[in-house]
Structure 1
Amino acid sequence: MKEKMWMVLRLSVPAILAEISSIVMQYIDAGMVGSLGADASASIGLVASTTWLINGIGMAVAAGFAVQVAQFVGARQPRQARDTMRQAMGICALIALGLSGTAVSLSGALPRWLGGSETVCVMASQYFLVYACSLFFVLNRQMASHMLQCTGDMKTPSALNMLLCVLDVVFNTFFIFGCGLGVLGAALGTAASEVVIAGMMVGKMCFGSPILTIREEGSWRWQKQTMRTAFAIGALIAIEHSVVNVAQIVIVGIVAPLGTVAVAANSLAVTAESLCYMPGYGIGSAATTLVGQSVGAKDWGAVRAFADMATLLGVGIMSVTALGMYMLAPFLFETMTNDLQVRALGVQVLRIEAFAEPFFAASIVIAGALRGAKDTLMPSLYNLASMWGVRIVLSIVLAPVYGLPGVWFAMAFELGVRGCLFVYRLRSRKWLKIPETGAERSVFV
């Protein structure tokens, strides 16, 4: 048991550090843009949910192949792992080009559809256009990062993702202040850092990974079974991400009529909250790798143990970070904006959300563990039902009466419901479809 917990920690820590460094750099990034005024912060916040939607599709494509790589590694079939990675590269490139073209065509109209003011819409369109042009590099970085993680190499993607954040700040400083480009400079800085790190990440995958290297024998030919499995996993995740992120865009539409201060506070509060939940995503990535490799090795006891331990670790860490987020909320907003109204409103909503973070942790980590076992249908249904049936409905009801705090109360309540659903799924063991035995009981029981 101790050995398994050590393995969870060993794979989780690099991913957690990468996620935390990413958020620290986002704070600095937000502070740079926030110094330009509430309109600048609101312009990025207005299109943020759409960028999450597109990134989610890219992550779903990567996950469809990466889970197979993890299981091939666990089954000690490196040739099949290499073949799967090569097929993923081709599919990822095609989807990235398609998404980029679509996003470019929507960059002018999207901010207006989301209800932004004229000033905000101009800056938001510029930001989204640059983001759209960088999508090929964004999606390839995501794909290579997932592939390396699923071979058990958490350190390289974590280190490169941390470097991505550092470069983002360096390039942003140059473009925003050195060149005086404002919000456009923030987009250019982020895009430049993505180009650099995508090249390094793909290079490591293709030439530096002992398992995935293209120097070893392998095939670039697309195989029906691999594509079918990738589609079965990735399509559900993509649909889930898409519908959930459409819901988040709807939330932005609900917040937008509340005014520029509310939009800016909402955007910055989302950035601030990520300091709390990003460790959960790091542990979730480790859970996907460990569960996937254990499934490939047909070690069902290890599958259960890793899923349970990762969940307990995630809930524990995010409970601590939630307490820190509640206490440090005023300081966090002081670092991101000079607008006193935005600060006051942001602190209020962030403290509402702190109470839901342990439940959010459960949903994030369990989803990662279930993904490693190719169980994606029920998690997707849980996310869709809770987002649309709880968060959207409550936000529509509460926003006109309580403003932005009402929207964030709806979010906190929905995360509580979602967390309970995922814990139920984990305890049911239906995701494994194997008999329960007394020697392999869950630590939750």
Structure 2
Amino acid sequence: MQVSERGKSFLTRHLSGKSMDYRQIIALFLPILIDQAFIVGLNLVNTAMISSSGMAAVSAVNMVDSLNIFLINVFVAVATGGTVVVAQYKGSGNQEMVAKAAASSVTSVTLLSLVIGLLFVAFHNPVLNVLFGSAEPDVLNSARTYLIGSCISYAGIGVVQAVCGALRGIGKTRASLMLSLIMNLTYVLLNIVFITWLNMGVYGMTLAVNIARYAGAACALFYLFKIDVSLRIKVWNLFHFPISMLRKILFIGLPFAAEQMFFNGGKLLTQTFIVSLGTNAIATNAISSSLAGFFQVPAAALSLTVVTVVGQCIGSGDIPDARKFIRSFLWFGSGLLFITGLVLMPFFHPLVNLFSPPAEIVGDIFLIVLICTIVSVLLWPVSFITPSALRAAGDSKFTSITSMLTMWLFRVILGYLLGIVFGFGILGVWVAMMAEWGVRGAIFLWRYRGTKWYEHKLI
């Protein structure tokens, strides 16, 4: 990538330090950006494909995906703990401990994902009845099929997330990208076959997700054992790992997992009162979420990149660099969100037409996406990039408690008041969510300006 002298000067001033320079950061960021763009873009395509089976199918997939996000993020949180520990050991130059941390992360995440999947397969009926019992019968039947299929696939995605997290920790984001692309492209191609060609609907989607995730897991393990030359992990390393290493991973992972459970539990509760607003409201929320996620891809890539960058800075003991990079990432995050919104909003109608929505909900979707795009520029980076950076420094308890409290006090309670009690419907739910971004972002900025966030001794 060619950069002008003025561009080099700008990047050196904002994205270079003693720990790493802008070339290394860009090399970390670009594969993660491509990965996130593919994941969100392919999810967009998947939602559009399932919409051909009707709004009931879209609603069922969206309802269960809110539960999937809740469950998957529990073991992804533990994988993030592995990423932080691996990154800090990488920064300290201790290669032997890097390998041990990576092996421990893969084992713990795989076991956790397997247990969660089996548990929810066993209790899928009471879970669906409690959360979505008020949904229409055809929506609930499709949701049951999709939930069982999704839970069976958890061990597969757990392996992929753990391996990719370890690779990001040592800065090998290209390998992480390739593994993620294999899994997600397989998923989309199979969806084309099962949904578009064979008209298998939700059942086809569940079949596709299982084949794709276990194929991805097989590729991830093959890469780890046969191709990778940095970590040097052998099969038997996964069956023997020190308890002290597991404690380090869980020190970051467990508070984050608890945060994800409460945070996504709140989103799940929000989903339950969206269900009470009817199938059109569920579809509006699903399509708006897909589009908003697509607009936030570059900033989301920064929030993943900052974990490796700050983790390695803290591992090498360079606090000034960590502070500088966090500040730069926040500004770049806002800039990227502004540019993305400016480029994509004019294409709103072609994008929304991918979902074939009823004409009466298109106006609501446009209003939600427009407001969200404007607010994201100001509030998304401080609300999501900052806690990722603090967590990379070992400040996991504070970030988790803050996220849990603001989620329940603002997104859930305020969302219920605005959406249901005061009758603003789905727009009220989204306004409450954006208010929560602002509150927790302000708290995280206050924490960043202090010193406690980098005083934890993780390694």
TM-score norm. by structure 1 comes to 0.92
Q: Between 64-73 and 5-14, report the one with greater CA deviation.
A: 5-14
- Alpha-carbon distance between aligned partners in 1 of 2:410 and 2:113, rounded to the nearest angstrom: 32
- Paired residue secondary structure (1:152): coil
- Alpha-carbon distance between aligned partners in 2 of 1:245 and 1:175, rounded to the nearest angstrom: 30
Equivalent residue number for residue 172 of structure 2: 153
- Paired residue secondary structure (2:282): helix
- Alpha-carbon distance between aligned partners in 1 of 2:278 and 2:317, rounded to the nearest angstrom: 55
Moved over 6 A (4+): 216-219
Counterpart selection for 1:21 from 38, 63, 77: 38
1:124 aligns with 2:143: yes
Equivalent residue number for residue 298 of structure 2: 279
Superposed counterparts of 1:6-45, under 5 Å = 6-45=23-62
CA-based RMSD: 2.0
Superposed counterparts of 1:171-320, under 5 Å = 171-214=190-233, 220-320=239-339
Equivalent residue number for residue 453 of structure 2: 431
Equivalent residue number for residue 443 of structure 1: none
Q: Between 288-297 and 237-246, report the one with greater CA deviation.
A: 288-297
1:370 aligns with 2:390: yes
- Alpha-carbon distance between aligned partners in 1 of 2:83 and 2:60, rounded to the nearest angstrom: 34
Q: Deviations over 1:334-363 (max 9, x none)?
A: 112242223332222222222221311222
1:389 aligns with 2:409: yes
- Paired residue secondary structure (1:293): helix
* TM superposition shift of 1:290: 1.4
| Structure 1 segments unaligned to the other structure (5+ residues) | 435-445
- Alpha-carbon distance between aligned partners in 1 of 2:68 and 2:331, rounded to the nearest angstrom: 31
One-letter identity of the residue aligned with 1:312: W
- Alpha-carbon distance between aligned partners in 1 of 2:355 and 2:236, rounded to the nearest angstrom: 50
1:421 aligns with 2:440: no
- Alpha-carbon distance between aligned partners in 2 of 1:173 and 1:217, rounded to the nearest angstrom: 38
- Alpha-carbon distance between aligned partners in 1 of 2:317 and 2:231, rounded to the nearest angstrom: 22
One-letter identity of the residue aligned with 2:39: S
- Alpha-carbon distance between aligned partners in 2 of 1:25 and 1:169, rounded to the nearest angstrom: 7
Q: Is the 8 A contact 1:104 1:129 kept in 2?
A: yes
Q: Give the aligned length.
A: 434
Q: Is the 8 A contact 1:206 1:212 kept in 2?
A: no
Q: Between 422-431 and 145-154, report the one with greater CA deviation.
A: 422-431
* TM superposition shift of 1:220: 5.0
Counterpart selection for 1:411 from 433, 438, 455: 433
- Alpha-carbon distance between aligned partners in 1 of 2:404 and 2:341, rounded to the nearest angstrom: 24
- Alpha-carbon distance between aligned partners in 1 of 2:406 and 2:301, rounded to the nearest angstrom: 23
Q: Is the 8 A contact 1:46 1:111 kept in 2?
A: no
Equivalent residue number for residue 9 of structure 2: none
TM-score norm. by structure 2 comes to 0.90
Equivalent residue number for residue 93 of structure 1: 110
| Structure 2 segments unaligned to the other structure (5+ residues) | 1-11
Q: Deviations over 1:246-271 (max 9, x none)?
A: 10011001111111000111111111
Equivalent residue number for residue 170 of structure 1: 189
Summarize the Cα distance change of 1:207–1:73 in structure 2 as closer, same or farther, 3 Å threshold. Answer: farther
Summarize the Cα distance change of 1:340–1:286 in structure 2 as closer, same or farther, 3 Å threshold. Answer: same
One-letter identity of the residue aligned with 1:365: I
* TM superposition shift of 1:219: 8.4
* TM superposition shift of 1:398: 1.2
Q: Deviations over 1:292-350 (max 9, x none)?
A: 11221122222222222222222221232234454433332111224222333222222
Q: What is the percentage of aligned positions where both structures have the same residue?
A: 22
- Paired residue secondary structure (2:66): helix
- Paired residue secondary structure (1:212): coil
- Alpha-carbon distance between aligned partners in 2 of 1:190 and 1:353, rounded to the nearest angstrom: 29
Q: Is the 8 A contact 1:356 1:413 kept in 2?
A: no
Q: Is the 8 A contact 1:71 1:297 kept in 2?
A: yes
Superposed counterparts of 1:67-86, under 5 Å = 67-86=84-103
Equivalent residue number for residue 437 of structure 1: none
1:343 aligns with 2:365: no
Q: Is the 8 A contact 1:325 1:351 kept in 2?
A: no
Q: Between 197-206 and 11-20, report the one with greater CA deviation.
A: 197-206
- Alpha-carbon distance between aligned partners in 2 of 1:43 and 1:320, rounded to the nearest angstrom: 33
Summarize the Cα distance change of 1:61–1:433 in structure 2 as closer, same or farther, 3 Å threshold. Answer: closer
Equivalent residue number for residue 123 of structure 2: 106
